[in-house]
Amino acid sequence: MKCFFANSGAEANEGAIKIARKHGERDGKIKRYKIITLNHSFHGRTITTVKATGQESMHNYFGPFPDGFVYADGIDEIESLLDEHTAGVMIELIQGEGGVEPQDKDKVQKLAKLLKEKEIPLIVDEVQTGAYRTGEFTASQLYNINPEIITLAKGVGGGVPVGIVMTTLKDVLSAGDHGSTFGGNYLSARAVCSVVDILNEEYKNGDLEITSLMFNKALEKFYDKYKNLFIQKVGIGMMCGLRVKDAKTLGDIIALAKDNGVMVLKAGRNTLRFLPPLTITKEEIDEGFKALSIAVDSL
């Protein structure tokens, strides 16, 4: 794949949309502009990526928006929305903001095959799932698919601002079609090289898998202890969540956890989200869940 470096996940997704739309127009016969995304998705906070996000509440105040975005209720509905104007389909394999919701592997593979047959690019937003968050470098590898476009950010920079759009459609954009003032700067590029080197080594020697197993075992134990508060454990690898019985309880847990030195987040309407560092130690895991238990016990 050819890579373009930007500053954030939203910028990477903007680049992905531009690649898909230019690819869709290259034969000059039909203007292909429509991008299909999923309800409950999240793709960024720029005007275009807010519109690509399938959450009605995020569309308040900021319109009018760019045209051409259509939302499917799930993977199953995407096929019925495809038409001669479809330029691309953009999905998260695990919806992060949408509630740590993994997509069904068989359905994703069926969709990827269908899109290849129709020569419609599949865009996989891996801003949260990339950089070994799910166990492989990309969740696309975990799902055994080969998207035409993948976007990365967040963890691949280890805290330094970076976004990356990668594509097999290497000749679509010409010089001047896309650009970035600070994309690919020395600081962020060096950070990415260091992060990838470190995580590659952790992956090869098995440390990432051991850490993931340790964290998930601790999370399962925590879940079992407080089943009166939680409905279900969800997620893959080190992208996990607990479904909470109601919104008030979720808000209280997040506030009390913060007071006890543990940062956890809300995802979707009722999910307590966990995104621990991939290099977290057993001692840090134990300390974190001890503090979280103190927080929950004080409800």
pLDDT tens profile 220-242: 999 999 999 999 999 999 999 99
- The answer to whether 292 and 263 are in contact (CB under 8 A) is no
Does residue 213 sit in the same domain as residue 183? no
Does residue 170 sit in the same domain as residue 288? no
pLDDT for 98 equals 87
Does residue 12 sit in the same domain as residue 100? yes
At which of 156, 173, 202 does a domain end? 202
pLDDT digits (tens, 9 = 90+) for 195-216: 999 999 999 999 999 999 999 9
pLDDT, mean of residues 57-66: 91
Short-list 158, 138, 145, 154, CA closest to 236: 138
The answer to whether residue 97 scores a pLDDT higher than 90 is: no
Does residue 121 sit in the same domain as residue 231? no
Q: Domain containing 240 — which CATH number?
A: 3.90.1150.10
Does residue 196 sit in the same domain as residue 213? no
pLDDT digits (tens, 9 = 90+) for 101-143: 999 999 999 999 999 999 999 999 999 999 999 999 999 999 9
Give the model's confidence band at 261: pLDDT under 50 very low, under 70 low, under 90 confident, else very high: very high
The answer to whether residue 155 scores a pLDDT higher than 80 is: yes
3-state SS string for the chain: CEEEEECCHHHHHHHHHHHHHHHHHCCCCCCCCEEEEEECCCCCCCHHHHHHCECHHHHCCCCCCCCCEEEECCHHHHHHHCCCCEEEEEECCEECCCCCEECCHHHHHHHHHHHHHHCCCEEEECCCCCCCCCCCCCHHHHCCCCCCEEEECHHHHCCCCCEEEEECCCCCCCCCCCCCCCCCCHHHHHHHHHHHHHHHHHHHCCHHHHHHHHHHHHHHHHHHHCCCCEEEEEEECCEEEEEECCHHHHHHHHHHHHHCCCCCEEECCCEEEECCCCCCCHHHHHHHHHHHHHHHHCC
Does residue 68 sit in the same domain as residue 171? yes
- Segments forming the whole domain that contains residue 90: 2-202
Mean pLDDT of the chain: 95
Give the model's confidence band at 165: pLDDT under 50 very low, under 70 low, under 90 confident, else very high: very high
Pick the residue with more confidence: 3 or 25?
3
Does residue 86 sit in the same domain as residue 198? yes
